[in-house]
Structure 1
Amino acid sequence: MPQYLITALDYTDDQALDRRMATRPAHLEMVKKLKASGNFILGGAMLSPEEKMKGSTMVMEFENEAAIQQWLDQEPYLLQKVWEKVDITLFKVATV
């Protein structure tokens, strides 16, 4: 199954962090579902120098671009305007 590196940057307005924190439980529930289905490999929050969350990075795998779009259409961080910009790049986790 193709793997992807997903980098998502948060909005930078004054309410951005508040929206992130309010939406975080729903986002983490989505991540749990993605992990259970085998789509989520790893991920976490990107931090500012002040250690405040400012975005997300994930490694995921999906069957095809339609499956990625289905996830994006349901992702709480997009629906609640937490993520402003999402970049998706084909990726391959190294096996050592």
Structure 2
Amino acid sequence: MYYAIFGYDVPNSLPLRLKVREQHLARVQELANEGRVLVGGPHPAIDSEDPGENGFTGSLIIAEFPSLADAQQWVSEDPYTTSGVFSHVEVKPFKIVIP
């Protein structure tokens, strides 16, 4: 089943994000290489593809896991979680309807 992972950034998270970004992306890329990622990316803090110093307010990943517990375990070990980029994370089951 797919799960939507909503990560919510702490204020002024950009320096923390940049510090562990490569490690975070490597973990997500592992899921993508296994064909398990539907979509993923950050939420810019302003209405711009490149928010610059404004940074981001969080991230969304929709990926396939065997169970909710597995999705929660995966996110608990992610560098954005362990380094303090995220203030909190929500993981919810996701059902594809469209397309």
TM-score bracket for this pair, using the shorter chain length: 0.7 to 0.9
Structure 1 length-normalised TM: 0.84
Give 1:94 shift.
2.5
**Gap runs ≥5 in structure 1:** none
List aligned pairs for 1:32-43, cutoff 5 A: 32-43=29-40
Runs of at least 4 residues off by over 4 Å: none
TM-score normalized by structure 2?
0.82
| Superimposed CA distance per residue, residues 33-65 of structure 1 (whole angstroms, 9 cap, x where no aligned partner) | 111223321111101126222210111111112
- Partners of 1:85 and 1:39 in 2: how far apart? 23
What amino acid maps onto 2:38 in structure 1? Answer: I
Equivalent position of 1:3 in the other structure: 2
Secondary structure of the 1:33 match is helix
Residue 97 of structure 2 corresponds to: 94
1:62 to 59, 65, 68: 65
Please provide the CA RMSD for this pair: 1.7
Identity among equivalent positions (%) equals: 29
Structure 2 gaps, min length 5: none
